[in-house]
A and B are shown apart, each in its own frame.
Chain A
Amino acid sequence: MKVLLGIGGSEDSIRALKKTVDRAESAGDDLTIGILQNPNADRTPDEIESQVREYLSEHAVDATIRHIEGDPGSSLVDIAESEDYEKIVIGGGQRSPMGKIQLGQIAEFVLLNSHTTVTLVR
């Protein structure tokens, strides 16, 4: 399956990276990892990229890494639609101190606007 993973550096996006790479390894997905500019994340795009490369080096997955400029949600949706991806994968939200699941603005935008199937990783 042609999969576009969007990660912006929050904890849930790192979890999404691991689960999506693991799945790509067993299912043979054609995986593109898009590094987003998430102003709310602790990690810079370069830090995310080295984390991505480190995880990929431990797995037999030949993924493409690209940096996605501009507004993260709309860019992700636009790339998925214009380049015929079959699925967008993003992190499934952060947890509040109470343990409540909270979706970030990128996830909200993608869920409400994407015409491509979306997977939220929990």
Chain B
Amino acid sequence: MTDRRYPAEVTADFEPPPVSFEDRSGRTITIRAYDGSESARESLVDMYTAFDPADRAQGIPPGQESQIRRWLETILADDCLNIIAWDGDTAAGHATLVPDGDAYELAIFVLQAYQEAGIGTHLIEALLGYGVENDIEKVWLTVERWNRPAVGLYKKVGFETSNAESFELEMAIRLAPESDDDSE
């Protein structure tokens, strides 16, 4: 993991949550930071229980409810940053930043009924805005090479390819200038 390359340029012009917008199907979607409540967590369990396994990425989200709960326990921990896209009381999408040394790993999921409505773009921008707000410097992710819409979205917001030598494409973005104690 030490050979990951981050862009030299900083990209940090993102609006943090809360963000409200009308999606391309006319639904009013509100993106809010995860508040740590049990009801928000249960809404995520519902979202991932209904999630189409065809949209799994490298084994996540898991398929069984017990595994979903165990996985959410890890990524909803206090040292992670989570935001949820709400359609009323329904969790339509979720994006997360999980600490990994001096950087954070990013993942984003949109429930099938809410895909291709522009929610993914708003989610990732809001998550990166939330990251800037919380002084995060570097973010990376992996994405399937064939998933062109996702790769296009990540490029659009400022991610660059950081490692192209594995099955999955690895991309990275810099949200803040390199700090002094950074000795890469």
Contacts and interface: CB of A to CB of B under 8 A. Distances in A.
Interface of A: 96-103, 105, 108
A100 B100 contact: no
Contact of A102 (B58, B98, B99, B106): B58
Contacts of A101: 58-59
Contacts of B99: 97
A100 B58 CA distance: 5
A101 B167 CA distance: 11
Interface size classification for chain B = 10 to 19
**Majority secondary structure, B binding face:** strand
A100 B167 contact: no
6 contacts: A98-B107, A100-B57, A100-B59, A100-B107, A108-B166, A108-B167
B59 A97 contact: no
Nearest to A112: B167
A102 B140 CA distance: 14
Contacts of B30: none
Contacts of A102: 58, 142, 166, 168
Contacts of B75: 98-99
